[in-house]
Structure 1
Amino acid sequence: MGSAPGSAPLWVALCFWPAGLGLLSQGLQPVPLPQRLLALALGLMLMEQSHMARVDVQQALAAWKFAPTPQLTRFMTVLAVTILGELMGFYLAAGGWLGLGMITILLSLLGFNLFANGRFEGYMFQPAGPRSRLGVIAIDLVALGLALLWVVGWGRLAVAGVLLTVSLAYGVAKAYAYATGRSSLAQPTSPAPAAYASRGEALAIHIPNAAQQHPQPAQQNR
């Protein structure tokens, strides 16, 4: 018996979690400190990306039921490729290839911001090109630069420390936003709210893409 369509977003999110356990395990192993810090930073990032995978898939499926269009079909294809790329990156990182995994994740997010052709306003899909995401694209490129520094072995402790610090700060800020009822990530009670920010903005803070999920116009940026 297959799972109900409404459970698809949850199953997508759960696909991330075995990799999260692997990253947590690395963070607790007696390996060099930079590796432990980066593994923990990626683990925190994974938590956010799994949440955003659920949100994006939920919105896309709801929009598809409301008004299936060729533009939405293209967007869903880009979204699926992005999530698969993220999963590949997280599992590479969980397997010990932290640098390669980080680059794979960032390339997936950069690809989303370059090729996604729309955004959601509530569950309505509206056309939007990469020009609306130039800030996030720039941050993706900065993050890729840091990932390359890690791969070539330059300043690994500094790179990992910065990423973990930013991830922790973001997590605290987000928890505070939830606690005070000001987070734009709250689950909508009707198909109308004009926006959860999207996943592109999510990595914009975590490593260290920097701009996600703050109450701002609905815009699909990973």
Structure 2
Amino acid sequence: MITVLVADDQALIRDSFRLLLDLEPDIEVVGEAGNGQEAVAQVRRLGPDVVLMDIRMPVLDGLGATLALTRAGSPSRVLILTTYDADEYLYDAMRAGACGFLLKDVRREQLAGAVRTVAAGDALLDPALTRRLVERFVEGPPPGGRPAGLSALTERETEVLTLVGRGLSNAEIAKELFLGEATVKTHLGRVLTKLGLRDRVQAVVTAYESGLVRPGAH
């Protein structure tokens, strides 16, 4: 059973998500929170597999709550709840350890699928939304140049990281590089391990911040 905590300051949103998820036989909503501080406390108490985290909440916002959970080493995986208007905090949420984004007007099957995806250890990335957010808030490589860890990557691993940064799925990367999808997954796993990254979301951030992918590039 996948356990979920819903954190949103709007009771109607919390109730809606609970109703939708309670229809799924393998998902259980074990708690709710009306602000980030409550969310952190509830995660520590309940240990849910997935946290649906609104970015804009009183007392402590979703970014602060995500940072707190990441720093505490919480195994709960955070899905940021957002709308179509790009929130300036979303990029920081990616860096803080969020596993992806979920639109608040999501359909039931998409909501359940998203929960299952992140609970299984994968990241939930909409290529268009991710690219728009990253390109808006990343101007280029940091002053210090590329992270030293990139030198540990093989040429093929660097290619895979670059394509991940461009928003391609494993299947699309496999087609681009004429590789099997399982091989791509293996290369990506090695990239994450060598660079100490948690998941695909942080790989996208690293690809942009290191200069492997530049804003506006195709």
For normalisation by structure 2, the TM-score amounts to 0.32
Structure with the higher fraction of residues in strand conformation = 2
For normalisation by structure 1, the TM-score amounts to 0.31
